Amino acid sequence: MLIRRKRGWEIPESRATPEAVFLNRREILAAAGGLGLATALPRFAHAEEDPSAGLYPAQRNPRYTIERDVTPEKINAHYNNFYEYSTDKDLADAAQALKVRPWTIQFSGLVEAEKTVDIDDLLKAMKLEERVYRHRCVEAWSMTVPWTGFPLADLVAYAKPLGSAKYIQMETFLDPAMAPGQNQPFYPWPYIEGLTMAEANNELAFMVTGAYGKPLLKQMGAPIRLHTPWKYGFKSIKSIVRVSFVEERPINFWQQLQSSEYGFWANVNPDVPHPRWSQASETVIGTRERIPTRIYNGYGEFVAGLYKGLESEPLFM
Ligand code: MTE
Protein backbone atom coordinates (compact mmCIF):
# COMPACT_ATOMS: atom_id res chain seq x y z
CA MET A 1 0.00 0.00 0.00
CA LEU A 2 1.08 3.61 -0.30
CA ILE A 3 1.94 3.87 3.31
CA ARG A 4 4.66 4.53 5.78
CA ARG A 5 5.84 0.94 6.02
CA LYS A 6 6.17 0.48 9.73
CA ARG A 7 7.06 -2.93 11.07
CA GLY A 8 3.90 -2.76 13.12
CA TRP A 9 3.55 -6.52 13.52
CA GLU A 10 6.37 -6.47 16.01
CA ILE A 11 4.02 -6.29 18.94
CA PRO A 12 5.65 -6.94 22.33
CA GLU A 13 4.78 -10.33 23.84
CA SER A 14 3.42 -8.53 26.89
CA ARG A 15 0.47 -7.34 24.82
CA ALA A 16 -0.66 -10.82 23.83
CA THR A 17 -3.61 -12.41 25.59
CA PRO A 18 -3.14 -16.07 26.49
CA GLU A 19 -5.23 -18.06 24.01
CA ALA A 20 -7.25 -19.84 26.71
CA VAL A 21 -8.29 -16.56 28.33
CA PHE A 22 -9.48 -15.15 25.04
CA LEU A 23 -11.23 -18.33 23.88
CA ASN A 24 -13.17 -18.59 27.13
CA ARG A 25 -14.22 -14.98 27.13
CA ARG A 26 -17.62 -15.59 25.59
CA GLU A 27 -18.53 -18.20 28.15
CA ILE A 28 -17.20 -16.02 30.97
CA LEU A 29 -19.16 -13.02 29.69
CA ALA A 30 -22.34 -15.06 29.35
CA ALA A 31 -21.99 -16.36 32.90
CA ALA A 32 -20.88 -13.05 34.37
CA GLY A 33 -23.73 -11.19 32.67
CA GLY A 34 -26.23 -13.23 34.66
CA LEU A 35 -24.38 -12.46 37.88
CA GLY A 36 -24.11 -8.76 37.11
CA LEU A 37 -20.33 -9.05 37.00
CA ALA A 38 -19.74 -7.88 33.44
CA THR A 39 -18.17 -4.58 34.50
CA ALA A 40 -15.40 -6.44 36.33
CA LEU A 41 -14.23 -7.94 33.02
CA PRO A 42 -11.97 -6.35 30.43
CA ARG A 43 -13.85 -3.89 28.26
CA PHE A 44 -13.32 -3.20 24.60
CA ALA A 45 -14.27 0.34 23.88
CA HIS A 46 -18.02 0.96 23.67
CA ALA A 47 -19.08 -2.45 22.34
CA GLU A 48 -21.47 -2.78 25.29
CA GLU A 49 -23.43 0.29 24.16
CA ASP A 50 -24.36 -1.30 20.85
CA PRO A 51 -28.14 -1.96 20.62
CA SER A 52 -27.47 -5.17 18.68
CA ALA A 53 -25.33 -6.67 21.47
CA GLY A 54 -28.08 -9.18 22.35
CA LEU A 55 -27.67 -10.88 18.94
CA TYR A 56 -24.18 -12.13 19.90
CA PRO A 57 -22.59 -14.60 20.16
CA ALA A 58 -24.08 -16.34 17.13
CA GLN A 59 -23.62 -20.03 16.46
CA ARG A 60 -20.35 -20.98 14.78
CA ASN A 61 -20.75 -22.56 11.33
CA PRO A 62 -18.40 -25.58 11.36
CA ARG A 63 -18.01 -25.46 7.58
CA TYR A 64 -15.78 -22.40 8.00
CA THR A 65 -13.25 -23.23 10.65
CA ILE A 66 -9.56 -23.56 9.91
CA GLU A 67 -6.39 -25.13 11.24
CA ARG A 68 -4.80 -21.92 12.49
CA ASP A 69 -5.10 -20.44 15.98
CA VAL A 70 -7.45 -17.50 16.29
CA THR A 71 -5.62 -14.17 16.63
CA PRO A 72 -6.26 -12.84 20.14
CA GLU A 73 -8.83 -10.06 20.14
CA LYS A 74 -6.57 -7.70 22.08
CA ILE A 75 -3.97 -7.93 19.33
CA ASN A 76 -6.43 -7.60 16.46
CA ALA A 77 -8.04 -4.58 18.16
CA HIS A 78 -4.75 -2.68 18.02
CA TYR A 79 -3.55 -3.68 14.57
CA ASN A 80 -5.89 -2.34 11.92
CA ASN A 81 -6.01 -0.58 8.60
CA PHE A 82 -8.64 2.16 8.59
CA TYR A 83 -7.21 5.15 6.75
CA GLU A 84 -10.25 7.26 7.63
CA TYR A 85 -8.75 7.37 11.14
CA SER A 86 -5.02 6.92 10.74
CA THR A 87 -2.29 5.37 8.66
CA ASP A 88 -0.89 3.93 11.91
CA LYS A 89 -1.95 0.43 12.86
CA ASP A 90 -2.92 1.23 16.45
CA LEU A 91 -5.84 3.49 15.66
CA ALA A 92 -8.29 2.10 18.22
CA ASP A 93 -8.53 5.35 20.17
CA ALA A 94 -8.92 7.51 17.07
CA ALA A 95 -11.66 5.22 15.70
CA GLN A 96 -13.83 5.83 18.76
CA ALA A 97 -14.96 9.02 16.96
CA LEU A 98 -16.93 6.79 14.55
CA LYS A 99 -20.63 7.13 15.41
CA VAL A 100 -22.32 3.80 14.63
CA ARG A 101 -25.93 4.74 15.46
CA PRO A 102 -28.10 5.84 13.78
CA TRP A 103 -26.70 4.01 10.72
CA THR A 104 -28.44 3.34 7.45
CA ILE A 105 -27.50 1.51 4.28
CA GLN A 106 -28.75 2.72 0.94
CA PHE A 107 -29.40 0.34 -1.95
CA SER A 108 -29.18 2.01 -5.34
CA GLY A 109 -28.46 1.60 -9.04
CA LEU A 110 -29.77 -1.40 -10.93
CA VAL A 111 -32.31 -2.61 -8.36
CA GLU A 112 -36.05 -3.25 -8.55
CA ALA A 113 -36.57 -0.31 -6.19
CA GLU A 114 -34.04 1.89 -4.41
CA LYS A 115 -34.37 1.73 -0.63
CA THR A 116 -32.65 2.66 2.60
CA VAL A 117 -32.56 0.33 5.58
CA ASP A 118 -31.65 0.94 9.19
CA ILE A 119 -28.82 -1.33 10.36
CA ASP A 120 -30.86 -2.77 13.24
CA ASP A 121 -33.76 -3.64 10.92
CA LEU A 122 -31.31 -5.29 8.54
CA LEU A 123 -29.77 -7.29 11.38
CA LYS A 124 -33.24 -8.53 12.36
CA ALA A 125 -33.89 -9.65 8.77
CA MET A 126 -30.64 -11.66 8.52
CA LYS A 127 -29.60 -14.89 10.20
CA LEU A 128 -26.26 -14.32 11.93
CA GLU A 129 -23.57 -16.99 12.16
CA GLU A 130 -19.92 -17.12 13.16
CA ARG A 131 -17.19 -18.08 10.69
CA VAL A 132 -13.49 -18.39 11.39
CA TYR A 133 -11.65 -16.99 8.37
CA ARG A 134 -8.06 -16.36 7.37
CA HIS A 135 -7.46 -12.66 6.82
CA ARG A 136 -4.48 -11.83 4.56
CA CYS A 137 -3.43 -8.23 3.94
CA VAL A 138 -1.60 -7.22 0.76
CA GLU A 139 1.13 -5.93 3.12
CA ALA A 140 2.07 -9.61 3.76
CA TRP A 141 0.65 -10.04 7.26
CA SER A 142 -2.22 -12.24 8.33
CA MET A 143 -4.62 -12.99 11.16
CA THR A 144 -7.33 -15.54 11.87
CA VAL A 145 -10.61 -13.94 12.88
CA PRO A 146 -13.91 -15.28 14.23
CA TRP A 147 -16.26 -12.97 12.35
CA THR A 148 -20.02 -12.87 12.86
CA GLY A 149 -22.35 -11.86 10.08
CA PHE A 150 -24.34 -13.22 7.16
CA PRO A 151 -23.58 -14.20 3.56
CA LEU A 152 -23.27 -11.33 1.09
CA ALA A 153 -25.54 -13.45 -1.13
CA ASP A 154 -28.34 -12.82 1.41
CA LEU A 155 -27.77 -9.07 1.16
CA VAL A 156 -27.90 -9.30 -2.63
CA ALA A 157 -31.21 -11.19 -2.42
CA TYR A 158 -32.52 -8.54 0.00
CA ALA A 159 -31.52 -5.72 -2.39
CA LYS A 160 -33.22 -7.34 -5.42
CA PRO A 161 -30.82 -6.31 -8.22
CA LEU A 162 -31.92 -6.34 -11.84
CA GLY A 163 -30.56 -8.99 -14.22
CA SER A 164 -28.53 -6.29 -15.97
CA ALA A 165 -26.34 -5.72 -12.86
CA LYS A 166 -22.80 -6.98 -13.48
CA TYR A 167 -21.02 -5.69 -10.37
CA ILE A 168 -21.80 -4.78 -6.78
CA GLN A 169 -20.17 -1.59 -5.50
CA MET A 170 -19.88 -0.67 -1.82
CA GLU A 171 -19.03 2.66 -0.24
CA THR A 172 -17.79 3.72 3.19
CA PHE A 173 -19.28 6.81 4.87
CA LEU A 174 -17.96 10.25 3.91
CA ASP A 175 -17.80 12.56 6.91
CA PRO A 176 -14.49 14.38 7.44
CA ALA A 177 -15.80 15.84 10.71
CA MET A 178 -16.11 12.30 12.11
CA ALA A 179 -13.06 10.83 10.36
CA PRO A 180 -10.00 13.09 10.36
CA GLY A 181 -8.23 11.02 7.70
CA GLN A 182 -10.86 12.14 5.21
CA ASN A 183 -9.47 15.68 5.46
CA GLN A 184 -6.38 14.39 3.67
CA PRO A 185 -7.15 15.32 0.03
CA PHE A 186 -4.46 13.05 -1.34
CA TYR A 187 -6.81 10.05 -0.92
CA PRO A 188 -9.86 9.52 -3.18
CA TRP A 189 -12.57 9.48 -0.48
CA PRO A 190 -14.92 7.83 0.10
CA TYR A 191 -13.37 4.34 0.19
CA ILE A 192 -15.10 2.17 -2.39
CA GLU A 193 -14.83 -1.46 -3.42
CA GLY A 194 -16.52 -3.80 -5.83
CA LEU A 195 -17.02 -7.44 -6.78
CA THR A 196 -18.54 -9.22 -9.74
CA MET A 197 -22.05 -10.55 -9.12
CA ALA A 198 -20.64 -14.10 -9.23
CA GLU A 199 -18.11 -13.23 -6.52
CA ALA A 200 -20.78 -11.51 -4.44
CA ASN A 201 -22.93 -14.63 -4.60
CA ASN A 202 -20.06 -16.98 -3.73
CA GLU A 203 -20.71 -18.65 -0.40
CA LEU A 204 -17.51 -17.27 1.17
CA ALA A 205 -18.31 -13.57 0.65
CA PHE A 206 -19.44 -12.45 4.10
CA MET A 207 -21.02 -9.30 5.51
CA VAL A 208 -19.45 -8.86 8.92
CA THR A 209 -21.33 -7.20 11.78
CA GLY A 210 -19.47 -8.72 14.72
CA ALA A 211 -16.26 -10.41 15.77
CA TYR A 212 -15.13 -12.33 18.82
CA GLY A 213 -18.73 -12.99 19.82
CA LYS A 214 -19.96 -9.40 19.97
CA PRO A 215 -20.73 -6.40 17.77
CA LEU A 216 -17.84 -5.28 15.61
CA LEU A 217 -15.39 -2.89 17.25
CA LYS A 218 -15.22 0.51 15.61
CA GLN A 219 -11.63 0.06 14.46
CA MET A 220 -12.65 -3.17 12.69
CA GLY A 221 -15.23 -1.35 10.55
CA ALA A 222 -18.42 -1.16 12.61
CA PRO A 223 -21.28 -1.48 12.20
CA ILE A 224 -20.99 -3.47 8.93
CA ARG A 225 -18.12 -4.41 6.64
CA LEU A 226 -17.27 -6.97 4.01
CA HIS A 227 -14.84 -9.87 4.27
CA THR A 228 -13.73 -11.82 1.18
CA PRO A 229 -11.14 -14.20 2.64
CA TRP A 230 -9.65 -15.33 -0.68
CA LYS A 231 -8.72 -11.77 -1.61
CA TYR A 232 -6.25 -9.28 -0.15
CA GLY A 233 -7.71 -7.43 2.82
CA PHE A 234 -8.13 -4.13 1.02
CA LYS A 235 -11.19 -5.58 -0.75
CA SER A 236 -12.85 -5.98 2.67
CA ILE A 237 -14.36 -2.50 2.88
CA LYS A 238 -15.36 -1.16 6.30
CA SER A 239 -18.30 0.88 7.69
CA ILE A 240 -20.51 0.57 4.59
CA VAL A 241 -23.31 3.08 3.93
CA ARG A 242 -24.16 2.40 0.30
CA VAL A 243 -24.50 -0.71 -1.85
CA SER A 244 -25.05 -0.15 -5.57
CA PHE A 245 -25.53 -2.52 -8.47
CA VAL A 246 -23.84 -1.36 -11.65
CA GLU A 247 -22.92 -2.38 -15.18
CA GLU A 248 -19.42 -0.88 -15.18
CA ARG A 249 -16.56 -2.38 -13.20
CA PRO A 250 -15.94 -0.19 -10.12
CA ILE A 251 -12.50 1.36 -9.68
CA ASN A 252 -11.64 0.82 -6.05
CA PHE A 253 -9.93 3.23 -3.63
CA TRP A 254 -6.44 1.75 -3.95
CA GLN A 255 -6.71 1.39 -7.72
CA GLN A 256 -7.66 5.07 -8.03
CA LEU A 257 -4.59 5.91 -6.00
CA GLN A 258 -2.07 3.59 -7.67
CA SER A 259 -3.38 1.40 -10.49
CA SER A 260 0.11 0.02 -11.22
CA GLU A 261 0.09 -1.68 -7.79
CA TYR A 262 -3.55 -2.41 -6.97
CA GLY A 263 -6.25 -3.84 -9.17
CA PHE A 264 -9.87 -4.92 -9.15
CA TRP A 265 -9.41 -8.66 -8.57
CA ALA A 266 -6.79 -8.77 -5.80
CA ASN A 267 -6.91 -12.55 -5.34
CA VAL A 268 -4.18 -13.88 -3.05
CA ASN A 269 -1.34 -15.59 -4.91
CA PRO A 270 2.12 -16.34 -3.47
CA ASP A 271 3.61 -16.47 -6.97
CA VAL A 272 2.61 -12.97 -8.03
CA PRO A 273 4.66 -10.41 -6.13
CA HIS A 274 3.47 -6.92 -5.34
CA PRO A 275 5.68 -4.55 -7.40
CA ARG A 276 7.47 -3.56 -4.18
CA TRP A 277 7.55 -6.79 -2.15
CA SER A 278 7.10 -10.57 -2.30
CA GLN A 279 3.76 -12.25 -1.55
CA ALA A 280 5.34 -15.69 -1.08
CA SER A 281 4.95 -15.66 2.70
CA GLU A 282 3.19 -13.72 5.44
CA THR A 283 3.83 -12.72 9.05
CA VAL A 284 1.26 -14.00 11.52
CA ILE A 285 0.22 -11.10 13.71
CA GLY A 286 0.62 -12.01 17.35
CA THR A 287 3.20 -14.77 16.95
CA ARG A 288 5.51 -13.15 14.35
CA GLU A 289 5.78 -16.55 12.67
CA ARG A 290 6.55 -16.38 8.95
CA ILE A 291 4.39 -18.88 7.04
CA PRO A 292 3.95 -19.67 3.34
CA THR A 293 1.08 -17.90 1.60
CA ARG A 294 -1.44 -20.10 -0.21
CA ILE A 295 -3.16 -19.49 -3.52
CA TYR A 296 -6.57 -17.89 -2.91
CA ASN A 297 -5.45 -17.75 0.72
CA GLY A 298 -6.24 -21.46 1.02
CA TYR A 299 -9.81 -21.13 -0.31
CA GLY A 300 -9.23 -22.38 -3.87
CA GLU A 301 -11.78 -25.16 -3.61
CA PHE A 302 -14.49 -22.55 -2.99
CA VAL A 303 -13.47 -19.88 -5.49
CA ALA A 304 -11.08 -21.05 -8.22
CA GLY A 305 -14.03 -21.82 -10.51
CA LEU A 306 -15.05 -18.15 -10.48
CA TYR A 307 -12.03 -17.31 -12.61
CA LYS A 308 -12.28 -19.92 -15.37
CA GLY A 309 -12.08 -18.11 -18.71
CA LEU A 310 -10.70 -14.96 -17.07
CA GLU A 311 -7.04 -15.99 -17.23
CA SER A 312 -6.12 -12.96 -19.34
CA GLU A 313 -7.23 -10.62 -16.51
CA PRO A 314 -4.78 -9.45 -13.80
CA LEU A 315 -6.46 -11.74 -11.26
CA PHE A 316 -3.77 -11.45 -8.59
CA MET A 317 -3.14 -7.71 -8.14
N1 MTE B 1 -12.03 0.03 4.59
C2 MTE B 1 -11.99 1.36 4.76
N3 MTE B 1 -13.13 2.06 4.70
N4 MTE B 1 -10.83 2.04 4.98
C5 MTE B 1 -9.62 1.37 5.02
O6 MTE B 1 -8.58 2.03 5.20
N7 MTE B 1 -8.46 -0.78 4.81
C8 MTE B 1 -8.51 -2.08 4.13
C9 MTE B 1 -9.75 -2.89 4.54
N10 MTE B 1 -10.93 -2.05 4.52
C11 MTE B 1 -9.62 -0.04 4.83
C12 MTE B 1 -10.87 -0.69 4.66
C13 MTE B 1 -7.32 -2.87 4.36
S14 MTE B 1 -5.93 -2.38 3.53
C15 MTE B 1 -7.32 -4.00 5.12
S16 MTE B 1 -5.97 -5.04 5.20
C17 MTE B 1 -8.47 -4.34 5.97
O18 MTE B 1 -9.54 -3.40 5.86
C19 MTE B 1 -8.04 -4.38 7.41
O20 MTE B 1 -9.05 -4.88 8.22
P21 MTE B 1 -8.76 -5.05 9.78
O22 MTE B 1 -8.35 -3.71 10.31
O23 MTE B 1 -10.03 -5.55 10.39
O24 MTE B 1 -7.64 -6.06 9.89
Nearest alpha carbon to residue 210 among 285, 129, 93, 120: 129
Residues 129-166: tens digit of each pLDDT? 999 999 999 999 999 999 999 999 999 999 999 999 99
Q: In terms of residues, how long is the chain?
A: 317
Q: Would you say the CB of residue 82 lies under 6 angstroms from ligand 1? A: yes
CA distance linking residue 238 with residue 57, whole number of Å: 21
Residue 234 has pLDDT above 50, yes or no: yes
In angstroms, how far apart are the furthest CA atoms of the chain? 60
- Average pLDDT for 94-121: 98
pLDDT for res 123:
98
The residue nearest atom 11 of ligand 1, judged by CA position, is 82
Atom of ligand 1 nearest to the CA of 172: 3
Percent of the chain with pLDDT over 70: 85
Question: What pLDDT was estimated at residue 50?
Answer: 87
Phi and psi of 78, rounded to 5°? -125, 25
pLDDT, one tens digit per residue, over 59-72 is 999 999 899 999 99
Using alpha carbons only, give the angle 104, 226, 312 rounded to the nearest 5 degrees.
Answer: 130
Centre of ligand 1 from the C-alpha of residue 80, in Å: 7
* CATH architecture of the domain with range 18-301: Alpha-Beta Complex (3.90)
209 Cα–ligand 1 center, Å:
14
What is the helix (H) or strand (E) element at residue 134, kind and residue range? strand 129-136
pLDDT band at residue 32 under the 50/70/90 scheme? very low
199 CA from centroid of ligand 1 (Å): 19
Q: If you measure from the C-alpha of residue 269 to the centroid of ligand 1, how many angstroms do you get, rounded to a whole number?
A: 19
Q: Whose CA is nearest to atom 13 of ligand 1?
A: 234
Average pLDDT over residues 171-191: 98
- Report H helices in 177-246: 197-200
Q: Does the Cβ of 136 fall within 6 Å of ligand 1?
A: no
Q: With contact defined as beta carbons under 8 Å apart, do 230 and 204 qualify?
A: yes
103 pocket-lining for ligand 1 (C-beta < 6 Å): no
Pairing of strands 240-246, 104-109: parallel
Please report the atom of ligand 1 found closest to the CA of residue 233.
Answer: 16
Determine the distance separating the centroid of ligand 1 and the alpha carbon of 33, expressed in angstroms.
Answer: 32
Task: Give residue 82 CA to ligand 1 midpoint distance, Å.
Answer: 5
CB of residue 269 inside a 6 A radius of ligand 1: no
Residue 260's CB is within 10 A of a number of other CB atoms, namely 8
**Global pTM?**
0.87
From ligand 1's centre to the CA of 36, what distance in Å?
35
Q: Which of 139, 144, 132 is closest to 232 using CA atoms?
A: 139
